Every structure is written in C-alpha cells, then in structure tokens.
Amino acid sequence: MAKPKNFFWVPGDPPPLIEPHSIAKLDVLHGYLSRYIETLGMLVNMPVMRFDIVDGFSGGGIFTDKQGGLRFGSPLTFLHSIEAARIAVGEKRGRPLEIEARYFFVDSDKNAIEYLKQTLVEHGYRDALEESIFLINAEYTSVYEKIVGKISARSSRAKAIFLLDQFGYSDAPLDSISYILRKLPRAEIILNFATDSLLAYLNDSTEFRQALRKTGISESILEDDQIIGKHKGWRFLAERELSAAIKQATGSRFYTPFYIVSEESHRAYWLVHLCMHPKAHDEMIKTHWDVGNLFRHYGGAGTEMHMWGYNARNDPGLSGILDFGFGEMDKNECIRALQSELPNLIYSQADGISFEGLASSISNNTVAWQDLIKEQLGFLRSEGEIEIITPNGNQRAAAGRIIDEDILRRKRQSVFPFIKR
C-alpha cells in the first residue's frame, strides 16, 4: 500500500503533518511503555531491565501538528517514554533502575532514515547510534528474522516489543508475527492493520484471494454469503472474522484490538496488541482505560466484547455502533455486566473453575482488567452467589487476594432473578 502524503520526510524540509489518529496511536504507545517499565521495574529482584525495541516502519521520527508545533514520532516516543518511566520507577522504589535497551529502527525509505538520524542527533542521541540505537534502511520483511536472531542470542528469555505500524495490511505479514512469537515467546507485538483498505476491495475474485494469502489471513472469511453479498450487517461480521483470523494466523494467545478511524480518510484501522502472557495483556487493557477519552469499542460491556476503537471525528456513522467510551459510566456498566455474566460462566463448570481458567476464557472478549474482575467475584461471594476456595481448601475472604489457583464455584441458589440458569 502506498504511503499517505503525511509520511514522507525530505532532509532539509520541515517534518510532515501528523493527523489526530496518529497522535492517538502514540498516546497508546506512551501509556503502555510507562506501564511496561513500572510493572517489570517494581519487581524486587530487578536491578537491571534488559529488552529490545523494534520499530518496523519508523519514519523520520518527528512531525508537525496542526497548531504548528513539533510532535515526536514512534522512535522518539520509545526513547523518551522509557527514560521518563525509568526515572519515575527509580523514585517510586527508592533506588535507581538501570535499563539496558537496544532499539532497531527500520524503514525502507532512505530519506526517512536520514531524517531520523538527524533528529536523533539533534535530540542528544549521537553517541547511542550504533551502540544501542540501530538505524536500518530496508524492508521490514527482509530483516525481521535477522533482528529476531540478534534478540534471541541475548537471552533465551529475551523480552521485546515490536511496533509494526504498516501503511496497509500486507507489509507486515501475519506469518512474520507468528515467527516472532515462536522464537521470542516473551515478545509483544503492536500491529497496525488497515481494516477498511482490505474490506473496501472484499470480493470472491482470484486476485482478492491472493491478497488475503499475502497477509496470512484464511480465505474462510469468503465462505460467508452474508459477507460476500455485503448484506445488512456484513461489515460487523467481516470484522469479527478478521479479528479471529488475525489471532489464529499469528498464534497469539492474547489479543487486544483498538479500533481507530482516521479523520483525514474516514477509513478505519486496528491497532492490535498480540502477546503470549496474561500480564502483558492485562496491562494493555488498563492502557485502554487510561486513554479512555480517545478510544471506544462496540459490543457488550461484559464478557462478549467484539472490538474497541477510536473515532477521530466522534461520529458513530463512520465506523458502526460505537457505544462504549471507557469513562466512569462505562466502568459502571462493565461492573453490572460482570456481576450478571460471571455467575453463569462459573455455574457452567460442575466442579468449578480456577481464576486463571476463568480469566483466560474471557480475556480476549472483555474490557475488564483482572483486578476489576476480582472485585466483582468478591461481590458475588459476599452475596452468596459463589464461593472462592484456596489451593489448601479454605474459603478466600478477601477478593484482592485471589490467586490464579483459587477455585470459583457455585454456592447456593441465586438471589438475583435476572441471572439465567
């Protein structure tokens, strides 16, 4: 897919204009990095954090905003956010946190790499170039395996964050993500996927099937007559199928999608977080709530969520039914839905279910983070709906102390008539 006009950097010229939806992406990135560093840095036995950052489509590193000011792109957002979080965590834990991070900034545009190099030098990173910051002028698909090899050589338990902010839907094939997660099980992927660019051309032709194969998405999406015929509701069904296909093709255990609509093009894309570990997934959900004024989702508020999103024009007509805005009222709605739906999920298991099992079963379909789920389990226990059994067979009294191995099971007849049996 061709780059949009606001993603070209020419050395010596002012940086290109950044659009609101791109600022939203960078807000997510900053928020998540802050959580990432705090979560790992607060571990008692973590004197040094070592991880790698890979930006597969880095661009020139800086933009102009609509007010005429300068906005850092993803490379400088990585560098500044991580340093700010390092200082904050050191102060919070009462001793300095040392971070040994390597940054691989990749772009196929030579001008963009030259612009990025100059931007980094101007902002004090000259000495880090070729020491901890590596600028790579190449197609992402031609270098990602080599980068993965360098990361895995560092440690068998290497941590890494890959930002794949591609311009379309095929520049970062899903099989490349599957490769990364197989080789680096502790890696996390943040993927930009141009949903509307794909769906705009959806048809049953040989050419479109070839395009799907290039992305790594199963052609099963074309087997639904309602989708192919573009009958009422087809887009929602297609997006749900795409969502499942991305998760399947990448082999990711956990999947957190943001739904974003561009003010400039009116077209939607997804910013998807993919990982293999529940803690990373939970921290990304919390990031959704942190930037709740920007992002929305449509679907249920409880355990049957379909897609979350940000609409640059706040216009539900652009992207479907956007009815959940991550505000205080939405949190209350989420709580009510959890209190209604969690008992049925627990009652469906005759011998009960572990907290880990319950959390894993709903993790990709809820806007609730784990502590919020635990709070509602505590409420249900206090109302006599369920009991929480510790590994040694005792009753768990405090919801905040629930652990993965605790068993959740039905206690007695429901006092809530609206809960279906």
**For 249-258, what is each residue's pLDDT tens digit?**
999 999 887 7
Q: Is the pLDDT of residue 311 over 50?
A: no
> Would residue 378 count as lying in a domain?
yes
Using 50, 70 and 90 to split pLDDT, how confident is the model at 321?
Answer: very low
Using 50, 70 and 90 to split pLDDT, how confident is the model at 313?
Answer: very low
> Would residue 419 count as lying in a domain?
no
Say whether both 107 and 205 belong to one domain: yes
CATH assignment at residue 375: 1.10.10.10
Give how far the C-alpha of residue 17 lies from the chain's centroid of Cα atoms, to the nearest Å: 25
Percent of the chain's residues with pLDDT above 90 = 47
* Token code pair at residue 57: 């489509």
Say whether both 192 and 260 belong to one domain: yes
Q: What average pLDDT does the structure give for the chain?
A: 84
Tell me the whole-structure pTM to 2 decimals.
0.84
What are the pLDDT digits (tens) for 231-254?
A: 877 877 787 788 888 888 999 999
Q: Is the pLDDT of residue 1 over 70?
A: no
Higher pLDDT residue, 363 or 191? 191
Q: Answer left, alpha or beta for residue 137, where phi above 0 means left and psi between -120 and 50 means alpha.
A: beta
* Cα 196 to Cα 164, 266, 374, distances in angstroms: 18, 9, 37
* pLDDT of res. 195: 79
| Domain boundary, last residue among 304, 326, 348 | 326
Say whether both 39 and 114 belong to one domain: yes
Q: Is the pLDDT of residue 223 over 60?
A: yes
How many secondary structure helices (H) and strands (E) does the chain include?
A: 14, 14
Which of 2, 111, 123 lies closest to 58, judged by CA?
111
> Would residue 188 count as lying in a domain?
yes
* pLDDT of res. 298: 42
> Would residue 418 count as lying in a domain?
no
* Token code pair at residue 322: 């956007």
Q: Is the pLDDT of residue 50 over 90?
A: yes
> Would residue 416 count as lying in a domain?
no
Q: Is the pLDDT of residue 406 over 90?
A: yes
Say whether both 285 and 344 belong to one domain: no
Q: Is the pLDDT of residue 146 over 70?
A: yes
Say whether both 206 and 224 belong to one domain: yes
Using 50, 70 and 90 to split pLDDT, how confident is the model at 218?
Answer: confident
Say whether both 319 and 346 belong to one domain: no
Percent of the chain's residues with pLDDT above 70 = 84
Give how far the C-alpha of residue 197 lies from the chain's centroid of Cα atoms, to the nearest Å: 20
Domain range for 389 is 331-410
Angle CA 402–405–411, to nearest 5: 70
| Domain boundary, last residue among 281, 304, 326 | 326
* pLDDT of res. 319: 38
Say whether both 272 and 406 belong to one domain: no
Give how far the C-alpha of residue 337 lies from the chain's centroid of Cα atoms, to the nearest Å: 23
* pLDDT of res. 308: 39
* Token code pair at residue 143: 């270098």
Say whether both 293 and 339 belong to one domain: no
Higher pLDDT residue, 229 or 12? 12
Integer Cα distance of 209 and 30 in angstroms: 37
Integer Cα distance of 404 and 358 in angstroms: 9
243 neighbors 199 (Cβ within 8 angstroms): no
Q: Is the pLDDT of residue 201 over 50?
A: yes
CATH assignment at residue 139: 3.40.50
> Would residue 393 count as lying in a domain?
yes
| Domain boundary, last residue among 326, 350, 380 | 326
Using 50, 70 and 90 to split pLDDT, how confident is the model at 315?
Answer: very low
> Would residue 184 count as lying in a domain?
yes
Say whether both 131 and 253 belong to one domain: yes
Say whether both 172 and 224 belong to one domain: yes
> Would residue 417 count as lying in a domain?
no
Say whether both 319 and 337 belong to one domain: no
* pLDDT of res. 21: 78
Say whether both 337 and 287 belong to one domain: no
What are the pLDDT digits (tens) for 96-142?
A: 899 999 999 999 999 999 999 999 999 999 999 999 999 999 999 99
| Number of domains the chain contains | 2
Using 50, 70 and 90 to split pLDDT, how confident is the model at 194?
Answer: confident
* pLDDT of res. 312: 40
